[in-house]
Amino acid sequence: MSRSLPIFIRNLFTLADDLDVKVPADTITALNNAVAVIDQLDELHTSTQDVAGAVYRAVLNGKDPLTDPEVERVTKLTAIASQPIYARAMEHASANLVETVQAEGDTLVAAFQPRFDSAAQAVADARPVFKAAGIDTLDASDQIARAGLDVARANLAAREGNATMTRINQGLGMVLSAGTNHVRGITATIDPKPGTTRIGLENQALLAGSRSSMSVWTATDNGHTVSLATSDQIAERNERMEAAEYQQQADYDRSLSQAAMGVYR
């Protein structure tokens, strides 16, 4: 587990508040409880430097460091921290947090799904407006500035939509990847049109600059839908592409067979 996972979880909850995403209370409680155990163990982690500081403060205040409660507390904690028992306790806490992320991951995705999908739709809706103005990219700032009010509005909506999608992708991605070491892949956000094979989808993405991701405009231009997906939805999308690959191969084999039969007639 990444030691940054508790931070990623807190950041994701902050993002949910910013975007008015309603994460179920049970999920928030489960993750916060798992993070709290790690936080408590972190507070217990002391060193000989902490003991030295406690001894100094005791002497400074006219106390006997041998009987001072704070010196005794820090000394005991330092003894625990220096033993394998502390490391084992942290391992258990970390494993529990990972298991909690795995259990709650799809619930997190489902909570952010409507906000992500609406942002993606806003970006997709801007595409025909830009096309009508003869503009192919959001980077054409000079053309956009001269194109009129409709393009200006579409440009703002598309940029806000892309920013929202990026924030959600990054926030969820850091939590899910740190918690599960699982890469969700291109179908985590792209719902391919019927008949699409995996190699076909990846080649379309590659032509646009990345084999593992695809912009909203590239996706919609190729007939796909941009939509955040849970693990079950990702599996269903992948199964559809596998079925398309099987059908494509079957059609190819059939055409070869028919061609061969024609030769021998």
Q: Quick one: 41 and 86 in the same domain?
A: yes
Q: Quote the percentage of the chain above a pLDDT of 70.
A: 92
Q: Quick one: 137 and 65 in the same domain?
A: yes
The residues with which 225 forms a beta bridge, in sequence order, are 191
Q: Quick one: 198 and 164 in the same domain?
A: no
Domain count, the chain: 2
pLDDT value of position 45: 67
Q: Quick one: 144 and 241 in the same domain?
A: no
What pTM, to 2 d.p., does this model score? Answer: 0.82
Closest CA to 3 of 90, 107, 109: 90
Q: Quick one: 87 and 70 in the same domain?
A: yes
Q: Quick one: 195 and 177 in the same domain?
A: no
**Rounded to 5°, angle at Cα 254 from 245 and 260:** 140
The residue out of 182, 210, 240 marking a domain boundary is 182
pLDDT value of position 87: 80
pLDDT band, residue 213 (cuts 50/70/90): confident
What is the H or E stretch that residue 191 is in? strand 190-191
Q: Quick one: 11 and 115 in the same domain?
A: yes
Mean pLDDT, residues 205-228: 88
The residue out of 182, 198, 233 marking a domain boundary is 182
The DSSP code sequence of 110-161 is HHHHHHHHHHHHHHHHHHHHHHHTT---TT-HHHHHHS-HHHHHHHHHHHHH
The residue out of 141, 156, 182 marking a domain boundary is 182
Q: Quick one: 123 and 245 in the same domain?
A: no
Q: Quick one: 157 and 226 in the same domain?
A: no
Q: Quick one: 141 and 228 in the same domain?
A: no
pLDDT value of position 50: 76
Higher pLDDT, 79 or 65: 65
Q: Quick one: 161 and 233 in the same domain?
A: no
Q: Quick one: 105 and 121 in the same domain?
A: yes
Determine the structural domain holding residue 60 and report its residue range. 5-182
